[in-house]
């Protein structure tokens, strides 16, 4: 499974692509940051993020996109920019038919470090270890994007397998019920045919 993690932001939008399966260490595919100048109009900054995200998806062909769920912060301007970039990431993924998973920062921290209260330094350290990188990914936005992708590979992969198993079971049950109804209908037809001969 290949996942593009997006740590949304207007000034810096972290991107990280990893590949792996639940229960095994994933591998780094690519990491980077989309930067947009603060003096540029917000709408133009969002277009720039949209274009670069689309190019990343076209280049790295992920199976899914994991985006950090926006949560309330004290700085309203920061939240607005983060929410706008997050929305762009979801639209770009949806346009290409990719599933989008939203993870809270504490979910990502817990998946990568074992603690939902880990700080950015601990997250970066664990991402470096998990992906067996020779250098720490910088800035923190890049490390956070990789952490999101790792979280989705490990947690989302398990969730999708459970969902597939549940839908497969539901499908089997529906098929069994349909076959039972067909058998009953055939028996009734045979009984009706026997009775009409008498």
Give yes or no for residue 169 having a pLDDT over 90.
no
Q: Render pLDDT for 9-20 as a digit per residue (tens, 0 to 9).
A: 999 999 999 999
Find out whether 148 and 43 touch, Cβ atoms under 8 Å.
no
Q: How confident is the model at residue 74 (pLDDT cuts 50, 70, 90)?
A: low
**What pTM was estimated for this model as a whole?**
0.79
Q: How confident is the model at residue 73 (pLDDT cuts 50, 70, 90)?
A: low
Find out whether 111 and 101 touch, Cβ atoms under 8 Å.
no
More confident residue, 137 or 193: 137
DSSP 111: H
Q: How far apart are CA 154 and CA 173, in angstroms?
A: 29
Q: How far apart are CA 158 and CA 152, in angstroms?
A: 9
Q: How confident is the model at residue 168 (pLDDT cuts 50, 70, 90)?
A: low
Q: What are phi and psi of 64, to 5 degrees?
A: -155, 160
Active site residues: 7, 68, 141
Structure-token match 């591998």, residue found: 27
Token pair, residue 141, equals 């936005």
Among the listed ranges 53-62, 105-114, 144-153, 161-170, which one has the minimum average pLDDT value? 161-170
Find out whether 3 and 156 touch, Cβ atoms under 8 Å.
yes
More confident residue, 56 or 195: 56
């Amino acid at each position: 499974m290949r996942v593009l993690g997006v740590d949304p932001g207007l000034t810096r939008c972290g991107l990280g692509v990893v590949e792996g399966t639940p229960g095994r260490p994933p591998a780094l595919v690519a990491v980077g940051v989309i930067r947009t100048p603060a003096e540029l109009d917000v709408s133009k900054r969002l277009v720039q993020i949209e274009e670069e995200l689309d190019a990343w998806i076209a280049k790295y062909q992920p199976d899914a996109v994991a985006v950090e769920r926006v949560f309330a912060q004290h700085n309203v301007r920061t939240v607005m920019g983060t929410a706008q970039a997050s929305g762009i990431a979801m639209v770009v993924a949806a346009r290409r038919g990719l599933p989008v998973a939203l993870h809270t920062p504490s979910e990502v921290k817990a998946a990568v470090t074992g603690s939902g209260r880990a700080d950015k330094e601990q997250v970066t350290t664990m991402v470096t270890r998990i992906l067996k990188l020779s250098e720490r990914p910088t800035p923190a936005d890049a490390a956070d994007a990789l952490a999101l992708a790792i979280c989705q590979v490990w947690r989302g992969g398990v969730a999708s397998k459970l969902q597939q198993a549940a839908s497969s079971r539901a499908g089997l049950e529906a098929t069994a019920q349909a076959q039972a109804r067909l058998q009953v209908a055939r028996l009734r037809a045979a009984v009706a045919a026997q009775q009409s001969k008498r």
